[in-house]
Structure formats: structure tokens, C-alpha cells
Amino acid sequence: MAMVDVIKKSDLFGALGTEHLDAVATYSRGNSYREGDIIFREGDIAEELYILMEGRIVLEMNVQPVPTRPPIPTALEVVSKDEFFGWSALVEPHVFTLSARCLLPCTAVAIKGDMLRKTMSSDPVLGFEVTKKLSQLLSLRLANTRLRLINGIGLTLFNTELLAVG
């Protein structure tokens, strides 16, 4: 399958025309990963944005509830086929906020973040469309994280109240 076709199927670039897709394809490359491979780690410099072609990716953060113990990788999101991840390549300070680990063997397209940012700056239509999709993803992830926090806090408060009553 041609790189343009892969990019067109993604939720990030699906609304773009051929001219824009051709531009993005010029600084994109395919990669294969094995189950368990780490594509990037939380805190790494974010040089590339990714589109998942095949497989499943878990986005994790290290949580350290006890300072004297090692951090625990904690899953926050699962990325499926045609979804994008690694948005930090487009947003300053260009540092990954999560790690990406392959749950299955995966194939992904890696897009050079600096080149995409330059293209977005010089082409307002492309810039607007990518920014719109990026904003939608960030909003969705923020809402999902918020729900998890509320549910976790709710359970914690509920359990604390039961212990106090019992």
C-alpha cells in the first residue's frame, strides 16, 4: 500500500486533499515493531508523530506512589489501527508525555515532526485541519483521564468512608 493511502486512512489526515497527503508522505516512513517493543519513552525528545497501521499500542505513564520504590508503568490509553499517537512531536516543548509500548506486533508510519510543523506553518489549510484533529484527540484524552481520576477518587473516598463507619 502506498504511503499516501496509509496516511489518508488515519483519523489525523483523512480530511486532507491529495496535495497535502503527498507533502506529508515525503517525510514519512514505515516501521515494524515486535510485541513488547517500546516505540518511545515518557520524557524522550519527540521527533516523530506516528500512525498505527496494524497492531495495538498502549500509552503508559510511570506512576510512583511510593518514593522509595520503582515507578509502575500505568496504562492510560490504547491506540488502534489508523489512529495517531506521539502528538508531542507537534506541540512544544516536543517531549513525550507518555511511553508507547506494543501490545502486539505492530506496523506504524513515522512522520517527521519538524517537517510537518514547517508544512503546517506554510500551509494554513493543512495547519488548521491537523490542529483541529489534534485538539479533538487531546480533548478526548483529557476527558478520559478526568473520568478515570474521578472514578478513582470516588472509589477511594467511598472505601475510606466504609472503613470509618465499619
Backbone angles phi, psi at 2, to 5 degrees: -70, 150
User: If you write DSSP's letter for every residue of 47-86 in order, what string do you get?
Assistant: -EEEEEEES-EEEEEEE-SSTTS--EEEEEEEE-TT-EE-
Q: What is the structure's pLDDT at 141?
A: 83
* pTM of the complete model: 0.84
Asked if the model's pLDDT at residue 159 lies above 70, the reply is: no
116 vs 64: CA distance, rounded Å: 34
Give the pLDDT mean for 18-33: 96
pLDDT level of residue 151 (50, 70, 90 thresholds): confident
Backbone angles phi, psi at 156, to 5 degrees: -65, -45
Do residues 87 and 134 make contact, with C-beta atoms less than 8 angstroms apart?
A: yes
pLDDT level of residue 152 (50, 70, 90 thresholds): low
Domain count, the chain: 1
Q: What is the structure's pLDDT at 162?
A: 43
Q: What is the structure's pLDDT at 108?
A: 97
Give the pLDDT mean for 38-66: 94
Q: How far is CA 1 from CA 39, 41, 81, in A?
A: 22, 29, 15
User: What does the pLDDT look like over 68-89, one tens digit per residue?
Assistant: 999 888 888 899 999 999 999 9
Q: In CATH, what number is assigned to the domain containing residue 115?
A: 2.60.120.10
User: What does the pLDDT look like over 105-118, one tens digit per residue?
Assistant: 999 999 999 999 99
User: What does the pLDDT look like over 114-135, one tens digit per residue?
Assistant: 999 999 999 999 999 999 999 9
103 vs 113: CA distance, rounded Å: 24
How many Cβ atoms from other residues are within 10 Å of residue 122's Cβ? Answer: 10
Give the pLDDT mean for 93-100: 96
Give the pLDDT mean for 38-55: 97
> What is the domain range of residue 93?
3-165
